[in-house]
Amino acid sequence: MDRIKQLEKEYAPLKELPEFSAGDTVTVHYMIKEGNKERVQQYQGVVIQRKGSGSTATFTVRKISNNVGVERIFPVASPFIEKIDVNKRGQVRRARIFYLRERRGKSARIQEKRQPVAAK
């Protein structure tokens, strides 16, 4: 098992991504190929889970599009991810917030984490 992880680190180096966890609102800039054209599409939503470790790690982002919940799973090691912007840090108690699937409107809001202010 150690040998597999060691080979994984050598042959599949991970991109530097910002620290984010469940409850954070992120924008994923994802490369889309349509025929012979390429473009970057932004997918903004709430991270509802992070799963796995190393090059097999994934994260799930949920957004509401035309009053329908849409979830997308992104592999962390995907070469199609251009960058990830963390828009808001959410304050949640769980690592997987699947309860958001049943929530609508104001009950689906996630409280924002307060950041300590640096003293002058």
Please give the tally of structural domains in the chain. Answer: 1
Q: Is 49 within a domain?
A: yes
Domain that holds residue 47: 14-103
- Find the mean pLDDT for residues 84-106: 91
Band (pLDDT 50/70/90 cuts) for residue 12 is low
Q: Is 65 within a domain?
A: yes
Model confidence pLDDT, tens digit, residues 31-73: 999 999 999 999 999 999 999 887 788 999 999 999 888 999 9
Q: What is the pLDDT of residue 58?
A: 94
Look at 2-11, 47-56, 67-76, 97-106 and tell me which has the smallest mean pLDDT.
2-11
Q: Is 109 within a domain?
A: no
Q: What is the pLDDT of residue 1?
A: 64
Q: What is the pLDDT of residue 2?
A: 78
Q: What is the pLDDT of residue 91?
A: 92
Q: What is the pLDDT of residue 119?
A: 66
- pTM here is 0.82
Q: Which of 29, 28, 76 is nearest to 51 (CA)?
A: 76
Q: What is the pLDDT of residue 63?
A: 93
Q: Is 6 within a domain?
A: no
